[in-house]
């Protein structure tokens, strides 16, 4: 049986409590919220492909914190150059998780290039990302995730998941509320000298 993204999220949810989390929009954002929203979670709307770039900026400006990016195959395929920028700056506090369901699930389920063999972990490695992996089972996923948190280096891990999503995509959290709450969270947890 193919791993479900919701199960993967549930398995690592406790590790997200005290880390900065950025997700893409759509299915993964709704699934994470269904487990439980937190002020340290930001769901990047509309700007498809740029969650890893936003995560890069946060990771570079907050070296004191670990940043987790929850990405999708369709999204990162729209921003492959982002992998080269990630590798160039190599934030050691960034864990980039790509849930690869081989589909643009959130807009109706159109097959992406990973369904015909494109290898995102391979592309990340070729871009220069020092730690990469592709995992297929929940055990492999939780193990690779724990290792990435402990490694203290930039990791892109691709989790092959089933192309199933939540029953609905609209949640009770508005885009602006999330934006301001997340900004307040980052400011409140910054070192005193950084507070402005």
Residues in contact with ligand TPP by CB under 6 A are: 24-28, 46, 48, 72-75, 101, 103-107, 112
Q: How far is the CB of 91 from ligand TPP (least distance, A)?
A: 21
- Cβ proximity to ligand TPP: between 115 and 189 the closer is 115
Residue 33 or 101 with smaller CB distance to ligand TPP = 101
42 three-class SS: strand
How far apart are the two ends of the chain, measured CA to CA in Å? 50
Q: How far is the CB of 151 from ligand TPP (least distance, A)?
A: 25
CA distance 155 to 148: 6
Question: Would you say 28 or 186 has its CB closer to ligand TPP?
Answer: 28
Task: Count Cα atoms within 13 angstroms, Cβ side, for 60.
Answer: 11
* Degrees to nearest 5, angle at CA 194 with 190 and 196: 105
In the complex, the smallest distance separating the C-beta of residue 101 from ligand TPP, rounded to whole angstroms, is 5
Give 62 or 73: the residue with its C-beta nearer to ligand TPP.
73
Structure tokens at 58: 């946060």
Q: How far is the CB of 100 from ligand TPP (least distance, A)?
A: 8
Which residue is closest to ligand TPP by CB?
Answer: 72
Question: Cβ closer to ligand TPP: 43 or 145?
Answer: 43
- β-sheet with 155-160: strand ranges across: 41-43, 20-23, 67-72, 94-100, 155-160, 131-135
DSSP category for residue 158:
E
Q: How far is the CB of 18 from ligand TPP (least distance, A)?
A: 25
């Amino acid at each position: 049986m193919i791993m479900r993204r919701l199960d993967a999220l549930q398995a690592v949810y406790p590790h997200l409590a005290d880390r900065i989390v950025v997700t893409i929009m759509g299915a993964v954002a709704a699934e994470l919220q269904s487990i439980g929203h937190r002020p340290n979670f930001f769901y990047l709307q509309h700007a498809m492909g740029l969650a890893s770039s936003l995560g890069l900026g946060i990771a570079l400006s907050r070296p004191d914190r670990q940043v987790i990016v929850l990405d999708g195959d369709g999204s990162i395929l729209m921003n492959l150059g982002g992998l080269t920028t990630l590798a160039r700056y190599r934030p050691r506090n960034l864990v980039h998780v790509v849930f690869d369901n081989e589909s643009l699930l959130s807009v109706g389920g159109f097959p992406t290039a990973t369904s015909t063999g494109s290898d995102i972990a391979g592309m990340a490695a070729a871009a220069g990302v020092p730690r990469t992996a592709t995992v297929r089972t929940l055990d492999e996923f939780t193990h690779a995730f724990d290792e990435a948190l402990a490694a203290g280096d930039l990791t892109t891990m691709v989790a092959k998941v089933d192309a199933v999503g939540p029953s609905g995509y609209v949640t009770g959290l508005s885009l602006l509320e999330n934006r301001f709450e997340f900004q307040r969270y980052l400011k409140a947890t910054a070192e005193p000298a950084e507070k402005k």
